[in-house]
Amino acid sequence: MSGPAKAKRGIPQKEDFNEWYPFIVEAAELVDKRYPIKGMDVWRPYGWKAMRLIDGLTHAEMERSEHEEYRFPLLIPENLLEKENRLVALLKKARDEGVEPEELRIDEDEAGFKKEVYWVKHAGENELDIPMFLRPTSETAMYTMFPLWIRSHADLPLKTYQMVNTFRYETKQTRSFIRVREIHFFEAHTAHIDEACASRQIDEDLEIVGNIMAAMCLPVLISKRPVWDTFPGAWYTIAIDVVMPNGRTLQVASVHHYRDQWAKAFDIKYEDENGEFQNCHQTTYGMSERLLGAVVGMHGDDSGLIMPPKIAPIQIVIIPVLKKGQEEMVNESASQLANELRAAGFRVKVDSRDMRPGQKYYDWEIKGVPLRFELGPRDIDKNSVFAARRTGGKTPLDRSEIITLAHAQLAEIESELIQRAAQHMKGKTQPLPELIECDGKWTVEGEIADGVVFEIAFDGSDAEAEIIERTCGLTFLGDAVEAYSEPKPCVITGNNTKRRVWLARTY
């Protein structure tokens, strides 16, 4: 195999994000894209470790919030789709008949991922009577079992989750972590006695998202998606987006409130305290490997990745600097240092490859190891360790207090990343140029800047939202969960509103 890193001169500038990103995910050995199926990369150990550490954050949050982990089969028989289709039809009918129309937006073509599923139609020599599909998400599979498990109000809330791979037949351009055909997926599914309890679950989900994003030093936009962009069968969808370096937003998580629509379709009901049957109210919460994609995009620079310490597969790399005749002494000192750090809980690697130290520095910089310790005869003499932070800055550290100092260094890197990311977000958010109507035709005053997220006060209708989307060539992310504290005039109607809406080009 090739070495872990390529020549620095070979790294595209991060400004050229469309070149930088695909280069870096391979050069940093996160994935190998040479597997001969579009959109299905091979996870390499370094990338998988990072993903597993991100998953670890999620598992910890699930544990804390008393969700339980399940593992559902990958294959789903076709006939189960019928229930889902019936649900969609039902919702459509409700909409057509004017029942809560704005709450029941359904696009039949999108419903059930019909166009995006992989099918298994043969097994051995036989054609299957009932074809099976690979889960694009697991509502159908899980809600087939929920009625068997939920009988009494005492069984609720049911809080489940699983981390599995899901499959979607993407025809558009694929991108590592961002748009793939086999998705490393997290999905939490809950069932509750009523709408209010389900709503409380949504609040908890948002708190969980907040914790996970904070651990990865990722600032996010949290917004309620417009009705036309609501998940099929959902009452509403709240999405979490990260602003990538090119200003495009990447949806990294979503939370759906289903009310009792799915429960009706799948007959998920419980007996309440009065002995009466009630439908459950449900929520889902999903995330994926896009989280890693966001980390790569948000924190990386012209020299490669920068891993936030909490998810860095290697937090500290130790480079022994050898001198002729003193190899053994230096190596021994390095491994002793490594052992001490490991005992204190750090993820540590000693790079004892036979090459020049400079070469190693470049290698680990591409991979984004946050802290590098150099250890040579000079340092050992002075009882110190020479530290270089991936975010910039070099300092000798007192060897005798190395554990404390290493913690401090990583904390400093973390806060530097948070600060940079916040700065990035701030710089990428702008007010929208003024919209002008003339004979029923809308135009924009000036240019729509590229690579930017726009924030507007908006109080218009769906139709007016569509006008804005068309006029500006942007996508409505939706209503910020944190609305304006003071009313502002809507860009279309001029009415005062606290509704704070984001528009962006999206992935």
- Residues forming contacts to RNA in the complex (CB under 7 A) are 1-3, 5-10, 18-19, 22, 33-34, 36-39, 171-175, 321-324, 327, 354-359, 361-363, 365, 374-379, 386, 388, 473
What minimum distance in Å lies between the beta carbon of 486 and RNA? 34
Nearer to RNA, 141 or 413 (CB): 413
Q: Which two tokens stand for residue 45?
A: 């150990």
What minimum distance in Å lies between the beta carbon of 448 and RNA? 10
Q: Which two tokens stand for residue 159?
A: 């809080």
439 φ/ψ sector (left φ>0, alpha ψ -120 to 50, else beta):
left
What minimum distance in Å lies between the beta carbon of 137 and RNA? 19
What minimum distance in Å lies between the beta carbon of 196 and RNA? 40
What minimum distance in Å lies between the beta carbon of 88 and RNA? 20
Name the nearest CA neighbour of 221 among 394, 44, 21, 452.
452
Nearer to RNA, 320 or 478 (CB): 320
* CA 334/CA 319 separation, integer angstroms: 8
Nearer to RNA, 249 or 283 (CB): 249
- Spatial CB neighbours of 414, under 8 Å, sequence gap ≥ 6: 217, 308, 309, 310
What minimum distance in Å lies between the beta carbon of 107 and RNA? 14
| 192 secondary structure, DSSP code | E
Nearer to RNA, 218 or 375 (CB): 375
Name the nearest CA neighbour of 284 among 312, 306, 263, 304.
263
What minimum distance in Å lies between the beta carbon of 333 and RNA? 10
Nearer to RNA, 80 or 402 (CB): 402
Nearer to RNA, 267 or 327 (CB): 327
381 φ/ψ sector (left φ>0, alpha ψ -120 to 50, else beta):
alpha
Q: Which helix (H) or strand (E) holds 280?
A: none
- Spatial CB neighbours of 95, under 8 Å, sequence gap ≥ 6: 101, 104, 105, 106
45 cis-preceded (ω within 30 degrees of 0): no
H-assigned helices in 176-227:
195-215
Q: Which residue type is seen at 439?
A: D
What minimum distance in Å lies between the beta carbon of 338 and RNA? 16
Nearer to RNA, 6 or 420 (CB): 6
Q: Give me the sign of the Cα torsion angle 79, 80, 84, 90.
A: positive
Nearer to RNA, 266 or 361 (CB): 361
